[in-house]
């Protein structure tokens, strides 16, 4: 933010406990609890404080870049989450835990942070995009994707989609594809990998292939073994179950469109290993239901 002196800083209006204690630390100089470790957020908030400004709180159906205030009146950004119920949940959680934190100076335990994710609806002339963040579906009309679907009946459908939460089945809601998106939109997944687990899974990819034939990923997580000496291999076998190579780079999917034409025609450019998913490429992705992985039941959770 140092290089963008006029930039605003937007955070979810549903505070996690670490967000709450960070704001107190920066703006009120009140170090409740232990250090949060959220260095990037702390730096941004301190920059805002030095400028005499406060962060903008994103809440459901709040314009973050209203069309009448933008340089180009055709550009608009609206937050679709978090919902009112999720915000209240966060406040209640902080209220229940604050007394214990003040007394014992401990870190407040977290509920699921993905619930507080900020989904964005973008209008750029006649082009519309839906950025799904990490929001998941919890089967509650007042929370998650159900709340967005129920509140979006008068909103223009998007013609491009950033798929939420690395394509996980926990973020899937059928009505996203029927109520919020046009048919067959270019859709982008940013994969996730930790140890044995990875998202999206083979089953996730196969599900999306039934919904769009314009599916893209920024990378395909690999589990290739590196070449090691026999001595190193023996050491690994003696100390660890398995060693897997970490993906060092991620690709980029660039979507561009003529914002003055309708219907919108999106062009797609792929960089640094990003791929379009076609045919049987789902087989290249992690399969928690394979014979070997069935012996590791913790993999079936599949949540990043």
What's the mean per-residue pLDDT of the chain?
Answer: 83
What is the rounded CA–CA span in Å between residue 223 and residue 243?
Answer: 9
Most confident of 68-82, 99-113, 229-243: 68-82
Q: Which of 49, 54, 48, 42 is nearest to 13 (CA)?
A: 54
User: Do the beta carbons of residue 287 and residue 300 sit within 8 Å?
Assistant: no
Predicted confidence (pLDDT) at residue 195 exceeds the cutoff of 80:
no
What is the rounded CA–CA span in Å between residue 212 and residue 186?
Answer: 7
What is the rounded CA–CA span in Å between residue 215 and residue 186?
Answer: 6
What is the rounded CA–CA span in Å between residue 64 and residue 120?
Answer: 9
User: Do the beta carbons of residue 22 and residue 41 sit within 8 Å?
Assistant: yes
How high is the pLDDT of residue 109? 54
> Dihedral of the CA atoms 65, 66, 68, 73 (nearest 10)?
60
The DSSP element (H or E) to which 39 belongs, if any, is: helix 39-50
Overall residue count recorded for the chain in this entry? 304
DSSP 51-80: TT--PEEE-TTEEEE-GGGSSSTTEEEEE-
Predicted confidence (pLDDT) at residue 15 exceeds the cutoff of 70:
yes
What is the rounded CA–CA span in Å between residue 277 and residue 215?
Answer: 6
User: Do the beta carbons of residue 176 and residue 187 sit within 8 Å?
Assistant: no
User: Do the beta carbons of residue 55 and residue 45 sit within 8 Å?
Assistant: yes
Q: What residues does each domain of the chain span?
A: 119-301
pLDDT band with cut points at 50, 70 and 90 for residue 304:
low
Q: What are phi and psi of 16, to 5 degrees?
A: -80, 160
Of 46-50, 137-141, 155-159, 235-239, the one with minimum mean pLDDT is 235-239
How high is the pLDDT of residue 1? 60
Question: Over the stretch 96-130, which tens digit does the pLDDT of each residue have?
Answer: 766 666 666 555 555 577 988 999 999 999 999 99
Predicted confidence (pLDDT) at residue 302 exceeds the cutoff of 50:
no
Tell me which residue has tokens 């994710």. 117
Q: Which of 272, 298, 267, 168 is nearest to 220 (CA)?
A: 272
What is the rounded CA–CA span in Å between residue 177 and residue 81?
Answer: 17
How high is the pLDDT of residue 245? 56
Collapsing DSSP to helix, strand or coil, 256 comes out as strand
The arithmetic mean of pLDDT across residues 38-56, rounded, is 85
Say which residue, 152 or 162, is predicted with more confidence: 162
Predicted confidence (pLDDT) at residue 216 exceeds the cutoff of 90:
yes
What is the rounded CA–CA span in Å between residue 95 and residue 74?
Answer: 41
Collapsing DSSP to helix, strand or coil, 130 comes out as strand
DSSP 160-190: EEE-SGGG-GGG--HHIIIIIB-SS--EEE-
How high is the pLDDT of residue 295? 59
């Amino acid at each position: 933010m140092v290089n963008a002196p006029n930039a605003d800083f937007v955070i979810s209006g549903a505070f996690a406990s670490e967000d709450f204690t960070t704001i107190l630390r920066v703006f009120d100089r009140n170090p409740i609890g232990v250090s949060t470790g959220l260095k990037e957020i702390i730096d941004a908030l301190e920059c805002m404080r030095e400028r005499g400004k406060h962060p903008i709180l994103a809440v459901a159906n709040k314009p973050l870049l209203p069309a009448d205030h933008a340089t180009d009146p055709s550009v608009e950004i609206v937050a679709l989450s978090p919902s009112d119920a999720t915000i209240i949940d966060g406040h209640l959680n902080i209220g229940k835990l604050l007394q214990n934190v003040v007394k014992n100076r401990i870190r407040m335990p977290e509920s699921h942070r993905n619930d507080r994710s900020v989904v964005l609806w973008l209008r750029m002339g006649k082009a519309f995009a839906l950025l799904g963040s990490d929001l998941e579906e919890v089967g509650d009309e007042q929370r998650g994707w159900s709340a967005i679907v129920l509140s979006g009946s008068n909103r223009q459908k998007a013609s491009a989609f950033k798929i939420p939460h690395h394509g996980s089945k926990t973020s899937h809601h059928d009505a996203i594809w029927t109520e919020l998106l046009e048919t067959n939109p270019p859709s982008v997944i940013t994969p996730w990998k930790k140890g044995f687990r990875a998202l999206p899974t083979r089953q996730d990819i196969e599900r999306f292939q039934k919904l769009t034939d314009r599916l893209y990923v920024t990378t395909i997580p690999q589990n290739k073994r590196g070449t090691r000496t026999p001595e190193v291999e023996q050491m690994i076998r003696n100390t660890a179950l398995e060693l897997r190579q970490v993906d060092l780079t991620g690709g980029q999917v660039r979507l561009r469109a003529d914002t003055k034409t309708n219907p919108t025609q999106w062009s797609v450019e792929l960089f640094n290993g990003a791929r379009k998913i076609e045919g049987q490429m789902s087989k290249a992705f992690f399969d928690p239901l394979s014979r070997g992985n069935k012996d590791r039941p913790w993999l079936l959770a599949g949540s990043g």
